[in-house]
Amino acid sequence: MSNRQTRTDVILIGAGIMSATLGTLLKELVPDWEITVFERLANAGEESSNEWNNAGTGHSALCELNYTVEKPDGSIDVSKAVKINEQFQISRQFWSYLVKSNLIRNPQEFIMPLPHLSLVQGEKNVTFLKKRFEALSNNPLFQGMEFSDDPRKLMEWIPLIMKDRKSNEPIAATKIDSGTDVNFGALTRMLFDHLKSKNVDIKFKHHVDDIKRTSDGSWELKVRNLESGAVERHTAKFVFIGGGGGSLPLLQKSGIPEGKHIGGFPVSGLFMVCNNPDVVAQHHAKVYGKAKVGAPPMSVPHLDTRYIDNKKTLLFGPFAGFSPKFLKNGSMFDLLGSVKPDNVLTMLAAGAKNIPLTKYLIQQVMLSKEQRMEELREFIPTARSEDWDIVVAGQRVQVIKDTAAGKGTLQFGTEVISAADGSIAALLGASPGASTAVFVMLEVIKKCFPQHLKAWEPKIKEMIPSYGVSLVENPELLHEIHTSTARTLGLAGEKQYAYA
Ligand SMILES: Cc1cc2nc3c(=O)[nH]c(=O)nc-3n(C[C@H](O)[C@H](O)[C@H](O)COP(=O)(O)OP(=O)(O)OC[C@H]3O[C@@H](n4cnc5c(N)ncnc54)[C@H](O)[C@@H]3O)c2cc1C
């Protein structure tokens, strides 16, 4: 037991993309605040934010069909797609600001331009896709989207998928070239390097065991140094719980009333990765399909070109599954340990309601490699088993809470939970995730530092010119921002095949 104690302005728990983003924003807004980070692993961006643990899609609703829902009258509700696209524009602006200010360099190491396609089969799905295209294509946020149900055109767009396709079913796709592949792991590491250069104290191999309020309203953390075994006490006026799947247990330990009656439902994931460079070279896009009936939205199958370790790669998945762990490097007792007297009824209600989903996830875990190959062959009819390996992806912990829709309702979004006095905040959930980290961390700032917002607004607007403005309602500003961020981030198209 050590009696090491420190006192800082801000503590960030977890070295993922969320803490990286919040730390970077705060360092720009109030450079003299002292910030300490505690991370249980040896490096930054090793859990969900790691490039191998997520799909790397810059989610802007260009191709994800679950963000546009068909209403009972047959029309398409695009409101969620517009919201997510606007949130991604905020990330693009902040990343551009960091590059322009030389705070991070070489944007091609974390973001690459890549066409985003939605692909469907069957008459009903083709009709849906066409209606979705009509609803989106005149919207300035989705400019440049094309639709085709002509197999010859599709052969040009996605040769690997169309080659040797035997099915006579109608098939159609939309394509938009302004999509991106984002290496969130690389970005997280770059942001932590930057924070280190700004004297942020980053403590790796430090596990936060407990969080308690002190008599003066600050927060005291009990932190275990995993190398020496020493237990330390660290105090801060503001704490952000950015522990990814590990956030819920820490939120529960804080004891704030806003964290009660909330549970977590862990969903694991797998990708298939292509080990044959000839196959990898035949595809250049992210192609999202439609989720199978009964499948959760995070298991929408997609075939993605990825840029990882300075190499073009091809990933298919994710296959969702069930594991009681809350982190990839977590414990088999995580789920059980998160059941508390205040959330037991919420958890039981969720358990009863989601038996089909749990069954589906367990069935998914049991799939053999050959069964997974069969799903891949719906995308690449000629796929050969020997060309593909399986990699384990990150864990997501979906929020369970009591809502107007009933007790124990499973949520698929992200949620910021904060104390009424703004002294502590936690991020729960994992979708749309890393792509919208800047928007979500600005929400944390709004909720937790309302007294500073007025003074901070000019700097926020310098970093994010569209802050507080709807881009869809200001197409000229959108055009200006889209063009300038594309130039700064190298998304204008010139180096599209830089790694090919
Ligand atoms: C399969 C899959 C696919 C995804 N695809 C996409 C995608 O295509 N696009 C997208 O935008 N998002 C995607 N996401 C979501 C995205 O990965 C997450 O939203 C994002 O990475 C979460 O970042 P984070 O910083 O909150 O968590 P993490 O990156 O998980 O970081 C949390 C950190 O906290 C640490 N930690 C936890 N508990 C403690 C503790 N007690 N003490 C100290 N440290 C602790 C962990 O070790 C970890 O390093 C995907 C996620 C998964 C799982």
pLDDT digits (tens, 9 = 90+) for 87-98: 999 999 999 999
User: Is the pLDDT confidence value at 73 over 50?
Assistant: yes
* pLDDT tier, 149 (very low <50, low <70, confident <90, very high otherwise): very high
Q: Is 18 in the pocket of ligand 1 (CB under 6 A)?
A: yes
Per-residue pLDDT at 499 exceeds 50: no
Whether the CB of 317 sits within 6 Å of ligand 1: no
> What is the Å distance from ligand 1's center to 164 Cα?
38
59 in ligand 1 pocket by Cβ < 6 Å? yes
Split at pLDDT 50, 70, 90, the class of 167 is confident
**Nearest CA owner, ligand 1 atom 41:** 208
Residue 493's pLDDT band (cuts 50, 70, 90): low
Protein residue whose Cα sits closest to atom 50 of ligand 1: 54
Q: Report pLDDT for 178.
A: 95
Confidence of residue 497 (pLDDT cuts 50, 70, 90): very low
Task: Give the model's pLDDT for residue 142.
Answer: 96
| Mean pLDDT computed over 26-55 | 97
Please tell me the predicted confidence (pLDDT) of residue 362.
84
**328 CB under 6 A from ligand 1?**
no
Instruction: Verify whether ligand 1 is closer than 6 Å to residue 50 (CB atom).
Output: no
pLDDT score for 353:
86
Ligand 1 neighbourhood includes 394 CB (under 6 angstroms) = yes
Q: What is the pLDDT of residues 314-363, one digit of tens each?
A: 999 999 888 899 999 999 999 999 999 999 999 999 888 888 888 888 88
- Beta-carbon contacts of residue 362 (< 8 Å; ≥ 6 apart): 321, 322
Distance 98 CA to ligand 1 centre (A): 22
Average pLDDT value over all residues in the chain: 93
* Confidence (pLDDT) at 494: 37
Q: Does ligand 1 lie within 6 Å of residue 427's CB atom?
A: yes
C-beta separation of 254 from 210 below 8 A: no
Residue from 18, 24, 47 to probe ligand 1 pocket by mutation (most atoms less than 8 Å from CB): 47
Q: Which letter does DSSP use for residue 125 in this model?
A: H
Quick one: which of 329, 24, 330 has its CA closest to 191? 24
Is the shortest distance between the CB of 252 and ligand 1 below 6 Å?
no
Report the 10 Å Cβ neighbour count for 134: 11
Task: Determine the distance separating the centroid of ligand 1 and the alpha carbon of 391, expressed in angstroms.
Answer: 17
14 Cβ inside 6 Å of ligand 1 = yes
In degrees and rounded to multiples of 5, residue 443 shows phi and psi of: -65, -40
pTM check: above 0.85: yes
Ligand 1 proximity of 321 Cβ (cutoff 6 Å): no
DSSP one-letter string for 383-438: --GGGEEEEE---EEEEEEEETTEEEEE--SEEEEE-TTSSEEEEEE-SSGGGGHH
* 441 pLDDT above the threshold of 70: yes
| pLDDT of residue 182 exceeding 50 | yes
The pLDDT score that the predictor gives to residue 3 is: 60
**pLDDT band, residue 498 (cuts 50/70/90):** very low
Does 65 have pLDDT greater than 80?
yes
* CA 455/CA 460 separation, integer angstroms: 10
